[in-house]
Structure 1
Amino acid sequence: MTTTSQNLVAVALLCALPTVSVADPLPRSAKVANPQKIAKVYSGKTELWTNNCGGGIYFAPGGQARAWCADQSDNLGAGTWSVDASGRMCQDLVWYYPSGRRAGASVSEKSCISHVVDAWGVMWRSWPNDSEWWPMGKDAGLVRGYKFQVQVQQSRSKLGF
């Protein structure tokens, strides 16, 4: 089932890319963002994945992360998130999927998003292997609360957790 887990990780990363904001190169005056401020931006929020997924990832205040996609609704991602001193918010997820009578699991996939702040105090982020930087405004795709909690619970039940 490696193909399924690789597809889920690829979909998750692609869906996380913002669609409304305009990307730019790294701002000239950029400095590494304060880790506490980065954590505050994500904590208790769901990042909506709008590109071909219809799901998102929830960043719990305690460092747990849960992800779900409508197009693979029997699957779920579970793991952790944290922010390091280099301004990177890292999520480490295992994707669980139906596999016969039991749940299959992907290899743990860690992905880190870099964050900087420009001279005007605007936070920017960039995804792995992307030279573009995206400003984190109201259109950053983060909404307060655990938006897919019911769907994650349903997937957990189907998977036997």
Structure 2
Amino acid sequence: MRRTRTALGALGALCALALIVTGCSPKEARMSPEETRDALVALVHDSAAKLDATGWDESDVPSAMRCGDGVKWGYTYGAPIPDADYEADAQTVLDYWTSLGITARMDTSHAPVVFGEGGPVQSISFQTGPGSYAFAATSTCAPGNPDDYR
């Protein structure tokens, strides 16, 4: 009887330890700084591809920023404002982001703007004016040093 209690106690302790260890570990592997940068640029370009706009400015490059002990990226992407239904385009972007798990909302008090956060990004926005369509986005934080990318 005593051996059974000791064995059950040891088994219980091992199970508790396993729960603690797995409960504190990340559910997904963290992405590298390069992966977060590439995912951010891909999301912005994929979002722009949903729109009937041309002339996207390819001259901007992602910029590395500090986030706690890590690195995150900022990126902007713009095009001349097309002759389009701006609110419909904003809705297209909002629907796309929502399908990716991004929490998104639209503000139509002036030129339509879509704001998003979560999912694969820290934050992202799409504005329809004045004068241009523009995306601005910030990646999630990844382990690393932004000075290594400047």
Q: Give the TM-score category using the shorter length.
A: 0.3 to 0.5
**TM-score of the aligned structures, taking structure 1 as reference length:** 0.31
- The structure having more radius of gyration, on CA atoms, is 2
**TM-score of the aligned structures, taking structure 2 as reference length:** 0.33
Query: Which one has a larger percent strand, Structure 1 or Structure 2?
Result: 1
